[in-house]
Amino acid sequence: MSEFVVYPAVDLHRGKVVRLRQGNLADRTDYALQPAEAAARWLSAGAEWLHVVNLDGAFGLEDAENLAALRSIVALGGRVQFGGGVRSMEKIAFLLDLGVERVILGTVAAKEPQFVAKALARFGAEKIVVGIDARDGVVRVGGWQESSGLSPKDLGARLAGFGLKRVVFTNIARDGLGAGLDVEGARRLAEVTGLEVIASGGVRGLEDVCRARNAELGGVVIGRALYDGNLDLEEALQC
């Protein structure tokens, strides 16, 4: 079994830390913490990785403030997994040069699977992750606003054939609601494709983290449960 990793999330909108409900930018919670402050809090609690999302990039908005926030986070020294609006080789190279450890591809992976094959060949499987975000069994793209027409297992299997190693799977219907992690969906995706699956969306508390660990998933992304105080990160890391 691969190492199980807990990824505290730092979602960025206009350079600030926010959490969305079901990917809706208009239905969000803004937090007073600065991005570097949030990142430092999670790292000091023992996290080795951070899951940083450029929401403005995902929605096709100006993202200079988020990239500035990313620089401040990377400077702290933790390992960063970053995604949101990454759709070119130049952007991947820029992010890796900036100090990002892994780059997450989303929309481009569903629309242009061959792009993933080229990225893997150029940067290696340890540097490229694909975000598979699904609602009602269909992968959503473009900031979750569009249907790709693909199922998670079909997209995952195709990308695994290119040598992809790892995906972040989000059940959009649960994201940001504390409705409970879709461990079963993530596990099925892992079983069908052979990919290492990091589960995301809807973590309610410690039980979800332990369920993901026991299901032999690659890890779990935790956002709102940490920021709202419903889950202690140190306890989650001990799971």
First and final CA of the chain: distance in angstroms?
A: 15
Residues 123, 165: contact at Cβ < 8 Å?
no
Max distance between CA atoms of the chain, in angstroms, equals: 43
Amino acid at 96: L
Amino acid at 70: L
Q: Establish whether 11 is a catalytic residue.
A: yes
> From CA 43, how far away is CA 118, in angstroms rounded?
33
> From CA 223, how far away is CA 147, in angstroms rounded?
24
Which tokens go with 191? Answer: 């079983």
3-state class of 6 per DSSP?
Answer: strand
Which tokens go with 181? Answer: 């992690």
Which tokens go with 109? Answer: 């992976």
- Which position among 11, 56, 175, 208 bears the catalytic label? 11
Q: Establish whether 63 is a catalytic residue.
A: no
107: exposed, middle or buried (Cβ count in 10 Å: 0-12, 13-18, 19+):
buried
- Which position among 133, 175, 182, 208 bears the catalytic label? 133
Counting every residue written for the chain, the total comes to 239
Residue positions annotated with a catalytic role:
11, 133
